[in-house]
Chains A and B, each alone.
Chain A
């Protein structure tokens, strides 16, 4: 039976990070980049940092965020694989459902697990729940009766997901995977085509 495959979104499926694209709309790229860097360097807790970044970006109407995200560049090899195997592919993203769900539905057509936001009209009020990728993947796999699971990611918040699956793949799509990600991965892959060959042959 073919495995269920969980994909990180930013930097794995996309060739651009989503938050900087939104930040550009309100000229806050430097601020978001600084917070992101501090988080990656371990100076800030991921959850607190994410809530703060979302608070800054909540100035952008949700409908405008959706328009921006709709144009985000994909790794087309990875996206094509997902479209061809959408029944067993799942996007697992710390990004907010209100921002990301449309682009996943329209351009990938697969299931999605994400953080959730509290919304009022066209405005994000606050982050409701920050996704724990490990918990989310375990629960999804159990509900779906998945007999074999695979995960693809690159960032620190992918470690919990990578630790929980049968085959963990560190993918250097946009970024080099951090050492913590590599340490919990069975495979390290640096090209979208090579990634899809591995996934197709599992």
Chain B
């Protein structure tokens, strides 16, 4: 069953840590951009997809429209002085009800995302978690097992086995107060149920190489 809630994807940033003069959404990984992989993969069956655009917005919009012509673009012209949290806040604040947020700088396992949305169909907050792999992770502390597992805290150090993967079902109350990082917006609402989604986030050049390997591993698995 497709996600019944709007999905907001943050694509506004400069991606300065990656060191390219290109929005991360347009970075090519093994022949396709992150954005096109997202739109044709995990978000393929999502009806209401909203992209927050900023850096090179015209290019990102044109690129996205070549894939789908029913997208909603939310403009963040102040991308240079605002954060991903601000981008999400801009779009989520115009949705009366639950909303899925997705950081636009990663590869997302399609099946896991569909399962995430199915598990979140009741509209209660849910956080996506993934085995720790990225260079600048926000690690999660968790309690419980299986369907009762929940995120009870965030931390930068020391590492835990899982990190927040940049996917969450939340609502606009999470952005009532302005904070720098998205996890800081979520923190006051913990504990929140956790759901594992396999992703490969790309913040740094090392993450980029890891993402390419992530795709290769999937290709090998599919051909096996």
Contact = CB atoms under 8 A, between A and B. Distances in A.
A182 B60 CA distance: 14
Interface residues of B, number: 19
**Best-surrounded residue of B47, B61, B75 (most CB of chain A within 10 A):** B75
B6 A190 contact: no
A187 B76 CA distance: 9
Given A193-B70, A194-B70, A202-B96, A186 B90 contact: yes
- By DSSP majority rule, is chain B's interface helix, strand, loop, or mixed? loop
Contacts of B77: 183
Contacts of A198: 50, 72, 94
A185 interface: yes
Given A182-B75, A188-B61, A197-B48, A202 B70 contact: no
A147 interface: no
Interface in A148-202: 167, 182-183, 185-191, 193-194, 197-198, 201-202
Contacts, number: 45
A190 B77 CA distance: 19
B75 A201 contact: no
Contacts of A185: 75
Contacts of B97: 201
A192 B48 CA distance: 12
A191 B70 CA distance: 5
A103 B128 CA distance: 50
Interface string B73-103: 1110100000000000010001111000000
B75 A197 contact: no
Interface string A108-150: 0000000000000000000000000000000000000000000
B73 A188 contact: yes
Contacts of A167: 94
B71 A186 contact: no
Contact of A197 (B47, B61, B69, B73): B47
Of A182, A189, A190, the most chain B CB neighbours within 10 A belong to A190
Contacts of B6: 197, 201
Nearest to A199: B94
A187 B93 CA distance: 13
29 contacts: A182-B75, A183-B77, A185-B75, A186-B74, A186-B94, A187-B73, A187-B74, A187-B75, A188-B61, A188-B72, A188-B73, A189-B72, A189-B73, A190-B65, A190-B70, A191-B69, A197-B6, A197-B48, A197-B72, A198-B50, A198-B72, A198-B94, A201-B6, A201-B94, A201-B95, A201-B97, A202-B94, A202-B95, A202-B96
B11 to A, nearest CB: 13
Contacts of B65: 190
Contacts of B69: 190-191
A193 B74 CA distance: 16
Interface string B53-72: 00000000100010001111
Contacts of B50: 198
Nearest to B51: A188
Contacts of A201: 6, 48, 94-97
Given A197-B47, A201-B6, A190 B71 contact: yes
